[in-house]
Each structure stands twice: as C-alpha cells, then as structure tokens.
Amino acid sequence: MSMSETAESTRWLLLIHQLPAKPAYARVKIWRRLKGLGAVTVKNSVYALPANAETQEDFAWLVKEIAELGGEAFVCEARLVDGLDDAEVQALFDAARDEDYGEISAAARELAGATATRAELAVQVARLRKQLDEIVAIDFFGADGREPAEGLVSGLEAGLHQARLQGEEDVVTATETKPSSDPLKNRIWVTRQGVQVDRIASAWLIRRFIDPAARFKFVPGTGYVAQPGELRFDMFEGEFTHRGERCTFEVLLADAKLDDPALGAIAEIIHDIDLKDGKYGREETAGVRSLIAGIAASSPDDVERLARGAVLLDDLYSSFAGKQGSK
C-alpha cells in the first residue's frame, strides 16, 4: 500500500453541529438522518464518516438542513493524531452496523418460523431485503454481522424461490417425466466473490463429495442470473443457500443426502462460525475460525482461498473420520 493510500484511509469527515431547543422534532429528525447516513458519534454533537466524495456531499446536505431548522453546523476533514485512533473509530462503525445486522437476523429468524401465506411472506422478505441493502450501503468497513444476516435473508428468499419452482413443477410433472441424470454432477458452481467460511467449506464439500468435476465461478452478490449448467450457492436466490437456521454447508449436506458423522461435525463448526449463534459450541470452532480468517486475510484471490481452505478441511475431515473409526 502506498503512503498516499495510507493517508487517505485515515481521513475522516467530522460534522459539528448545534440545534435550537425548539422545534422539538428537529433533534429527532437530524438524529434519524445521521443514523441513515451511517454516521457515528465521537463526542457530543460531533459525528464522523469516512472521508470520500459521497460522504462529503451527504454531510453538506445535512449542514443545509440543520441551518433551515435554525441550527448551526460545519464539516471538517480530519486526521486523528491523539486520544482516539483510527481503529477505535472503525470499531464504532462496526459496532453500530453489527447492532443493525443483529436486528435483521432476529427478524429473519422470526419470519422463518412464522405462519403466513406465500404472498404475505414474499412482502415481508422483500421488506427485510430492502432494510438489509440499506445497512450494507453504510457498512463502510465490513462488520462481522453482515454474513449471518445476509445468509438468513438469502435463505428466506431461496425458500420462496424453491416454493415457486415446486409449484411450477407440480404442473409440469403431471404430463412430463423428469430427467434421470444426476442434477448435481459436472456443473459450474457459482458463488459470491470474496469467499469466506461458509463458501470455502461449501466449495470443498461440493468438489470432494458431491461433484468431483465441479468448476467454480465468482460473481457479484446480487443481480446475477444463472446460465445453463450453473448452480448458485451461498448467494441471493441461489439453489443452495441459507435456509432458516441452516448455513449453506448444512443445506448442501442435507440435499445431497451425505450421512457422514465426520461431515456432520464439520457442519456444526461451520454453522457456529458463520451464524455466530453458538448453537453447537464445539471446542474446535475457535481454532478453525482463526485459521480460515487467516486464509481470507492473506489470500485476496478466491481460487487460492478455496485451495488453502481445502487443505485445512481435508485434515479436519481426516481427524474426525479417524476418531469415528477408533470408536
């Protein structure tokens, strides 16, 4: 990284403002606007955003709005020197977004267990997706809560998509015969760029146990339409993605009918790392989490991440399979 890039990464925009006591709604209105921009408070009436052209424009409009409400405000660009460092400010942003993601995850879990018509569920899931996209837009540093929230919402979307397909199939299969070839063999498997734990583990499971001839393709997280011969996993409207409380690895394991205790143990580890709910509490989880985080941090290339992750998971599988065989 160059010196100029380092300097840029430590620049912040600070909004310093003061509002009159009346009208009373003014404080609430400005607070909501700041929250919508993703700003965090670093001191009373001082809010921060990472410095770039877009955030500068956002703050400029807000200064105008504060003035129209009878208040005063100005924006400055700053580099932190003493008392508060960049990592601490970034942690404030991550904590705020993790709280937002936590609310989305809780709502998605509640929705997964709700009784509703498909139409009602589709409306609520679409609303949840919109809320999640709004949070992602102000997640400047990639908070940890994004992955599980994204997975839970994608799982709800995948469930709706599967239900629609099943409805169509019910009509088709009344007069047609399904192809007998294995639908999971010799496919191109598509997933989101920047693979992390669930995608790394799922790709290993696919190539090792489901489709030895699998080829992998990495695309943006939303807006991708599968081509003939492709299957999507751990992504929006994917054929295999989070469903309810299950991560993608668990979904693949169940759909491929892989009844293997060693794979089941790995599934529990991947679940707890990905969903962060501590459901299984296996002692190996912390170590595997650190190793995969290290792979992701040191390998920007997705193909390399899958290759290095496969070595780790091969060893982990051998360890669990050995324990089962010694019983």
| Domain residue ranges of the chain, discontinuous segments joined by + | 10-82, 88-172, 188-326
Can you spell out the DSSP letters for 138-204? T-TT--TTHHHHHHHHHHHHHHHHHHHHHHHHHHHTTTS----S-TTSS-EEEEESS--HHHHHHHH
**pLDDT tops 50 at residue 316:** yes
Cβ(96)–Cβ(103) below 8 Å: no
**pLDDT tops 80 at residue 107:** yes
Class of domain 10-82: alpha beta
- Band of the pLDDT at 278, cuts 50, 70, 90? confident
pLDDT tens track for 216-268? 999 987 778 888 889 999 987 789 998 878 899 999 999 999 999 999 999 99
What angle (nearest 5°) sits at the alpha carbon of residue 94, between those of residues 92 and 97?
110
**pLDDT tops 90 at residue 4:** no
Lowest mean pLDDT among 22-31, 138-147, 165-174: 165-174
Lowest mean pLDDT among 7-11, 27-31, 121-125, 247-251: 7-11
Question: Residue for token digits 């300097």?
Answer: 7
Instruction: Name the most confidently modeled range: 75-84, 167-176, 312-321.
Output: 312-321
